[in-house]
């Protein structure tokens, strides 16, 4: 493991923080959820020395934390222990916890962590990054996550509702880009930025987004693996801190039918060995390399969709004039397309991938984006003409359904080459189990539509 944490790192942290009593150790599962254990202080150094065994089934879980036997990681291997190791640079404080607590991200050892290591989403991203780097294409990325701040209490009808702002009132209107709305969140945002600094997360601009209670804070770009690690930790930080304010940070793709959904925009460029941006160009359409990469992303979009939009709720986000794209399109400085080349100086030229919901696993979504870029670059793909003006009026193939996305992923030889047959077997088994269980559940909408009418 090239980025394995060192014993010296742990010893220095313990010496600097004698007040810390416990450590939350976690790895990121296929749903993007942190799963692990709570250790006492005296258990940290043995973890750094020897690793920590975790059950193989930890990467065989649905979004609801249920085992999926068909993954082959549960009873087939007797739920065996698989060794996990600390990720370098991930040891940090959780300043909002009542008991002084640290946190440490783990990843499965590529050998001693087998068989579960085959399904570690962080490893999947590393493999794609290494494939690009071998071609002198070094990905630089940034993660941009939208989320809702909700009240912990539902409304009288049992539905979620935006959290009250600093003036005690609950927002009802979008007030997009409203600075007053940000001012009313000042205590929360101040603590959020302070926690980001403490954890080494490069949080930058805060934006009041296109719905009441919806917020976005951008993260600075950096080497792809570091940027995605930071995106994952930032999401956990926002959730944890919001709870101390009596709020819930919700990263559902579409928590409200009549309001804007929440996306995860992935910004990406490719650098050479000296760090020069290979997409840099005076032409706002970027370099031929960038346009070929866009062509590959458009070609691979149907196969990648299950990674960009992994849940039933993900597909509710795709509505016209909602700032969520509806078709495989690209454009320059255009927020109505799936793949956008933002404006800015030539040296900053890059691609903004706008299709993912905020509910996607950042590691897997980024792996698909990078693999799609490489696909286009190697094939010298032609993306066609960019969309000019309103992309929602251009027509084109609509975004498939959840069921269609799963069917396409199941038969994709390209995804099997990108992720490997073992990984895809586990991933597809989990998504198939989630679809079966979701579609079998009878809920409030069924009763509302059909109980008295049919």
Q: What is the mean pLDDT of residues 78-95?
A: 97
Instruction: Please measure the distance between the N-terminal and C-terminal CA atoms of the chain and give it in whole angstroms.
Output: 60
CA nearest to 376, candidates 278, 277, 295? 295
Q: Do the Cβ atoms of 131 and 430 come closer than 8 Å?
A: no
Is the Cα dihedral 425, 430, 435, 436 positive or negative?
A: positive
Q: Considering the chain, what percentage of its residues have pLDDT values greater than 90? A: 79
For 395-452, how does the pLDDT look when each residue is reduced to its tens digit (9 = 90+)?
666 778 999 999 999 999 999 999 999 999 999 999 999 999 999 999 888 998 998 8
Q: Is 308 helix (H, G, I), strand (E, B) or coil?
A: helix
Q: Do the Cβ atoms of 399 and 314 come closer than 8 Å?
A: no
For 320-353, how does the pLDDT look when each residue is reduced to its tens digit (9 = 90+)?
777 788 888 999 999 889 999 998 899 999 999 9
Round to whole Å and give the CA distance between 182 and 192: 13
For the chain, counts of helices (H) and of strands (E)? 12, 15
Structure tokens at 130: 């290494």
Mean pLDDT of the chain: 93
Round to whole Å and give the CA distance between 211 and 182: 13
pTM for this predicted structure = 0.95
CA nearest to 48, candidates 100, 119, 117, 106? 106
Contacts of 432 (CB under 8 A, 6+ apart): 70, 406
Domains contained in the chain, CATH given: 7-119 (3.10.20.70), 130-441 (3.30.590.10)
Q: Do the Cβ atoms of 83 and 1 come closer than 8 Å?
A: no
For 162-174, how does the pLDDT look when each residue is reduced to its tens digit (9 = 90+)?
888 878 788 887 7
CA nearest to 239, candidates 431, 425, 9, 33? 33
* Partners of 215 in the β-ladder: 147, 208
Round to whole Å and give the CA distance between 119 and 419: 9
């Amino acid at each position: 493991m090239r980025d394995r944490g060192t014993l010296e790192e742990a010893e220095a942290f313990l010496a600097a923080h004698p007040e810390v009593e416990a450590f939350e150790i976690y790895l990121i599962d296929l749903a993007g959820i942190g799963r692990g254990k709570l250790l006492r202080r005296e258990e940290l150094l043995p973890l750094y020395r020897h690793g920590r065994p975790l059950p193989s089934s930890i990467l065989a879980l649905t979004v609801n934390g249920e085992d999926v036997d068909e993954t082959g990681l549960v009873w087939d291997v007797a739920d065996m222990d698989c060794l996990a190791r600390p990720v370098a640079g991930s040891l940090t404080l959780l300043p909002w916890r009542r008991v002084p607590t640290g946190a440490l991200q783990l990843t499965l050892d590529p050998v001693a962590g087998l068989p579960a290591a085959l399904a570690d989403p962080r490893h999947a991203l590393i493999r794609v990054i290494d494939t690009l780097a071998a071609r002198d294409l070094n990905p630089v990325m940034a993660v941009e996550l939208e989320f809702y701040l909700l009240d912990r209490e539902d409304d009288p009808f049992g539905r979620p509702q935006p959290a009250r702002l600093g003036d005690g009132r609950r927002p009802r209107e979008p007030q997009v880009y409203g600075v007053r709305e940000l001012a009313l969140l000042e205590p929360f945002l101040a603590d959020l930025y302070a926690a980001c600094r403490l954890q080494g997360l490069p949080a930058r601009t805060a934006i009041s987004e296109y719905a009441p209670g919806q917020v976005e804070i951008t993260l600075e770009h950096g080497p792809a693996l570091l940027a995605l690690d930071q995106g994952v930790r930032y999401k956990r930080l926002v959730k944890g801190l919001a709870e101390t304010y009596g709020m819930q940070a919700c990263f559902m793709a579409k928590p409200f039918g009549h309001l804007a959904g929440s996306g995860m925009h992935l910004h990406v460029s490719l650098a050479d060995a000296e760090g020069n941006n290979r997409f840099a160009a005076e032409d706002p359409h970027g370099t031929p390399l960038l346009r070929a990469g866009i062509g590959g992303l458009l070609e691979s979009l149907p196969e990648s969709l299950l990674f960009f939009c992994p849940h039933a709720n993900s597909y509710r986000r795709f509505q016209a004039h909602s700032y969520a794209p509806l078709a495989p399109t690209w454009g320059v400085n255009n927020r109505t397309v799936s793949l956008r080349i933002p404006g800015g100086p030539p040296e900053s030229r890059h691609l903004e991938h706008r299709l993912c919901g905020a509910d996607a696993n950042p590691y897997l979504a980024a792996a698909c984006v990078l693999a799609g870029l490489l696909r286009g670059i190697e094939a010298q793909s032609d993306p066609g003409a960019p969309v000019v003006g309103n992309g929602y009026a251009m027509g084109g193939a609509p975004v498939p359904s959840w069921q269609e996305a799963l069917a396409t992923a199941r038969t994709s030889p390209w995804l099997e080459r990108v992720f490997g047959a073992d990984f895809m077997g586990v991933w597809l088994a989990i998504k198939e189990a989630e679809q079966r269980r979701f579609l079998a559940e009878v809920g409030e909408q069924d009763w509302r539509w059909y109980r008295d009418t049919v």
